[in-house]
Amino acid sequence: MSVSLVLTVIGNDRPGLVNALSQAVTEHGGNWLESRMSSLAEKFAGILLASVPDNRADALISALQGLELQGLRIVIEKSVATGGPITGYRSFNLELVGQDHPGIVREISHALASHKVNIDELDTHCSSASWSGETLFHARVRLSVPNEVIMDELRATLEGLANELMVDIILDEPSAQ
- At residue 177, does pLDDT exceed 60? no
Integer Cα distance of 117 and 159 in angstroms: 16
Residues of the chain with CATH 3.30.70.260: 2-79, 89-172
Over residues 10-36, the pLDDT tens digits come to 999 999 999 999 999 999 999 999 999
Helical packing angle, 17-27 and 57-66, nearest 10° = 160
Taking CA atoms, 24 is separated from 19, 49, 57, 170, in Å, by 9, 13, 11, 41
Query: H or E element: which one contains 105?
Result: helix 104-114
CATH architecture label of 2-79: 2-Layer Sandwich (3.30)
Q: What is the pLDDT of residue 85?
A: 62
Q: What is the pLDDT of residue 176?
A: 63
Q: What is the pLDDT of residue 84?
A: 60
CATH architecture label of 89-172: 2-Layer Sandwich (3.30)
Rounded to the nearest integer, the mean pLDDT of the chain is 94
| Residue 22, strand partner residues | none
Residue 22 CB partners (closer than 8 Å, separation 6+): 32
Over residues 83-129, the pLDDT tens digits come to 566 789 999 999 999 999 999 999 999 999 999 999 999 999 999 98
Over residues 117-162, the pLDDT tens digits come to 999 999 999 999 888 889 999 999 999 999 999 999 999 999 999 9
Over residues 69-81, the pLDDT tens digits come to 989 999 999 997 6
